[in-house]
Amino acid sequence: MARQPETRGQIKLLMADRKGEEVVITRTLQTTQKAKNLQLKTLDPVIHRKKSSGEVVQVGGRCIDVNLEMSHVFGVSKAVLSNVIFCHQEDSNWPMDEGKKLKEKFDSIFDATKLNKCLEHIRDLRKAVNTEISTDEKLLKSQQEIKDETVSKKKDLQEAESRLAVTQDKIDNLSDKLSPLLEKLDEIV
């Protein structure tokens, strides 16, 4: 490569983020000629943001995860960034791959694992809620039976009290009739 032991190159991407602010992402690459092969190394990437106020903010790759920041700038996931937007020319035929590899790519792009975890969590919550509802319905049924039994016993108690009152009135009435008879009996005896 250029008959030099080291070669450096820069890739700059100028774009507008979701807020309309200008963003320049710079990656510096370095190749080093070893005895039999080339070694490729990515040097510290830098992000320059030009704010709407005109202020330029520069952040290095040591401070933030540049790949994550790029996914925020583009407003897409890291999988979309690496498999669709910045897909290497040799890997650009991945939509024509065999079924298993294609499914893995689509799962990473559409975050199928997160979706599956969310669906599983929803199923677990639904199962827990259904169990709780079933338990509450059984409790409600037993409480209703207790209430019905209480109402029935209160009604029986009221009927017994009214019979007691009637019987007590009869006893008082008969006592009133009996007392003159007892006085006559005492006189006779």
User: What DSSP string describes 73-103?
Assistant: HHTS-HHHIIIIIT--GGGTTGGGS-HHHHH
Q: Does 21 map to a domain?
A: yes
Q: Does 93 map to a domain?
A: no
- Of 84-88, 98-102, 166-170, the poorest mean pLDDT is in 84-88
Q: Does 118 map to a domain?
A: no
- Domains identified in the chain, total number: 1
Q: Does 52 map to a domain?
A: yes
Q: Does 99 map to a domain?
A: no
Q: Does 39 map to a domain?
A: yes
pLDDT of 83: 66
Domain that holds residue 22: 1-75
Beta-sheet pairing, 6-16 with 38-42:
unpaired
Q: Does 60 map to a domain?
A: yes
Q: Does 166 map to a domain?
A: no
pLDDT per position as a tens digit, 101-153: 777 777 777 777 777 888 899 999 999 999 999 999 999 999 999 999 999 99
| Average pLDDT of the residues in 166-188 | 88
